[in-house]
Amino acid sequence: MKSVGLVGVGLVGGVLAKGLLSAGLHVRGYDLAPDRRDCLQRLGGVVVANAAAAADGADCVLLSLPDGDVVQQVVEGPGGVVEAGRLPSYVIDTTTGDPNGTAALAGRLARQGIALLDATISGSSKQVGERKAVFMVGGERTAFEACLTVLHIFSDHVFYLGPSGSGSKAKLATNLVLGLNRLVLAEGLVFAEELGLDLGAFLEVLKAGPAYSVAVDVKGEKMRRGDFTPDSRIRQHHKDVSLILKYAAAGGQDLPLSRVHLDILARTIAAGEGDLDTCAVIKEIRRRRAHRATE
């Protein structure tokens, strides 16, 4: 592949653009936000007027968008991918979307000769940039194999999970575990703080012991320093946990910890912190501690 279209140049999309360009690929991209379009241009990509122009003549198109509804609009709406003069053979969607919606979209695109891969990402934009993220891919096996060279630009950890929607399902299950790891780290740090422990020293203990998780490395120092510059956003994770609970309810499973998690994320958003990094859940944990202390 030599030419790639890119729609969505946000936290993750910007990193994807940088990787594609560094690999020597020609990138035509689009984003609604002028500052993101400027970012792509500074990186060396070509900014175009809409998704159709990004897709026109491209070997494949990458999508990095907020949710499945936006994906559907970008692909099938006015000025969307399917209106390209020459349709791409492949669309690689890195968005965390509704698995059933993803599978339905894949079916519609297949009838136009386009193979859709839901290539969801486990890891923040920073981890994608460091090639430490994991890609979980659903779709036709032949399409997966054809797009491996592009996916391997971003990570050596690329897994084929099965038919369309499988990547989205794996992302939801992964995010359930990841999000709770992050939340319990925040709660543990606030508890250690209340006990009077030095948080820097306590984080070293966590790294060395059985309570360790990657969240300690990725979010521990950010929580300790109060650095909430986003690598991934609270608002996006709230969307993910909402989807997790929707699918659990449909399958008759209760997820009590995830219900608590959703409430904490919702209250963080209500406090005006939805665009902060996901490690900002520690702010809500601290607010709850302060409230209990005054009762």
Q: Could you tell me the pTM of the whole model? A: 0.92
Q: Taking residues 25-44, what's their average pLDDT?
A: 97
For 184-225, the pLDDT digits (tens) are 999 999 999 999 999 999 999 999 999 999 999 999 999 999
Tokens 């996006």 belong to 236
Task: Please determine, for residue 45, whether its predicted confidence score (pLDDT) is greater than 90.
Answer: yes
pLDDT score at 211 = 97
> Mean pLDDT score of the chain, rounded to an integer?
97
Contact 154, 19 (CB under 8 A): yes
* pLDDT tens column, 232-245: 999 999 999 999 99
Domains belonging to the chain, first-starting first, are 3-163 (3.40.50.720), 170-294 (1.10.1040.10)
Q: Which band of pLDDT confidence, cut at 50, 70 and 90, is reported for residue 294?
A: confident
Candidates 193, 215, 214; CA nearest to 202 is 193
Nearest to 119 by CA among 142, 101, 97: 97
Instruction: Calculate the CA dihedral of residues 52, 55, 61, 64 and round it to 10 degrees.
Output: -30
